Amino acid sequence: MNLNFSDIKVLLIGDFMIDHYIIGASTRMSPEAPVPVVIPEKDYSTPGGAGNVAINLKLMGADVTCVGCVGNDIWGKKLLSILKNEGIKTEGIELINDHPTTLKQRIYSDGKQVARLDTEKIINWEIDEDGGDIVENYDIIILSDYNKGVLHNPELFLTLISSNQLSDENRLKNIIVDPKKDDFNHYHGVNIITPNLDELQKATKMKIDDNQSIIKACKKLIEEYCIEYVVAKKGDKGITIVGEHNFVKHIKPHIVKNPDVTGAGDTVISALSLAYAKTEDIELSAKIANAAAAIVVGKSGTATATIEEIESLLSN
């Protein structure tokens, strides 16, 4: 399979954050508490949240424009620097004074994560009323919602988007959402939404314990919120797609030993979005996303999948 997404223009709106890794070793326990004393040996930072989606999209060849906000601090500036160095357009990311950039610091000792320190503060961010980049035409628009405040009012974005993103049937087109809110009414009318099973259960208030209950819950979202496709992420059990007109497909998982699921959802929405923008084939797009996720969970930390890796796995 030959995947080429270099002609795909993406607008990414969401919660941008940064992941910082401290890697070390421990030879003793602390006398103060039953925890290891970790001696740092190296550290590094990678974009997280919507930032990780942006990196995934760029590595897959897309033209990426970002909209959101970060703190006007060392971490926010570091995040923007990383994104710019990758060729990602960041003019739509606002630096906010007196607001911390969302930061997740993971401490590893002897190859195992022993602690995570999070710095965050929810912000009710508002974009300029003229919409800026949002009123331009894009092949695909992604809302990467981590519930940190950029998408506290997604209806505003959908209203701005609708001026240029209407299909012949007068509905929103090529809008894909990775949700975090329990109330999916915020995402009314989008094309594709990609909840995991926990998010699906909370949104529908239904018990999810097998494929039939997944299908029933997805159909409820489609009927209530005018969503074209629900792509339910089932972790190590693969993906289920449910669409209008009783469309149902199950995508089998790729077996991965000792998976690290950090950032897997970001990879799924990135690959799914680009493949759908290219092919408008939801089943094929989900298969590509499923393969990309398998590659990422086989790596440690916030990782990405390249086109070459995805093509190789799909060809096996």
CB distance 266 to 53 below 8 Å: yes
pLDDT 10s digit of each residue in the chain, 316 long? 678 999 999 999 999 999 999 999 999 999 999 999 999 999 999 999 999 999 999 999 999 999 999 999 999 999 999 999 999 999 999 999 999 999 999 999 998 999 999 999 999 888 765 555 565 678 999 999 999 999 888 777 777 666 555 555 555 668 999 999 888 888 888 899 999 999 999 999 999 999 999 999 999 999 999 999 999 999 889 999 999 999 999 999 888 888 787 778 899 999 999 999 999 999 999 999 999 999 988 887 777 888 899 999 998 8
What does the pLDDT read at residue 172?
A: 62
What does the pLDDT read at residue 299?
A: 86
Burial class (CB in 10 A: 0-12, 13-18, 19+), 164: middle
What does the pLDDT read at residue 222?
A: 96
Q: Which domains does the chain have, with CATH numbers?
A: 9-315 (3.40.1190.20)
Placement of tokens 């003229």 in the chain: 130
CB distance 147 to 15 below 8 Å: yes
Between CA 192 and CA 272 the distance in angstroms is 10
Structure tokens at 157: 């974005």
Between CA 183 and CA 166 the distance in angstroms is 24
Q: Residue 74: left if φ>0, alpha if ψ -120 to 50, beta else—which one? A: alpha
At residue 108, φ and ψ (nearest 5 deg) are -115, 135
Separation in Å, CA 159 to CA 81, 137, 229, 312: 31, 14, 20, 40
Half-sphere exposure of 294 (CA within 13 A, CB side): 23
Taking alpha carbons only, the member of 153, 133, 137 closest to residue 145 is 153
What does the pLDDT read at residue 260?
A: 80
Separation in Å, CA 204 to CA 145, 181, 237, 282: 18, 12, 20, 23
Q: Which amino acid is at 152?
A: H
Catalytic positions: 266
Structure tokens at 148: 């940190």
Instruction: Identify the sign of the CA torsion 110, 115, 121, 122.
Output: positive
Non-local (6+) Cβ contacts of 263 within 8 A are 48, 52, 296, 301, 302, 303, 304
Between CA 40 and CA 253 the distance in angstroms is 36
Q: What is the DSSP string of 149-216?
A: STTSSHHHHHHHHHTT-B-TTSSB-SEEEE---S-GGGGTT-SEE--BHHHHHHHHT----SHHHHHH
Taking alpha carbons only, the member of 82, 80, 78, 99 closest to residue 90 is 80
Non-local (6+) Cβ contacts of 58 within 8 A are 64, 86, 87, 88
What does the pLDDT read at residue 11?
A: 93
Residue 87 DSSP class: T
CB distance 121 to 100 below 8 Å: yes
Non-local (6+) Cβ contacts of 31 within 8 A are none
pTM for the structure as a whole: 0.91
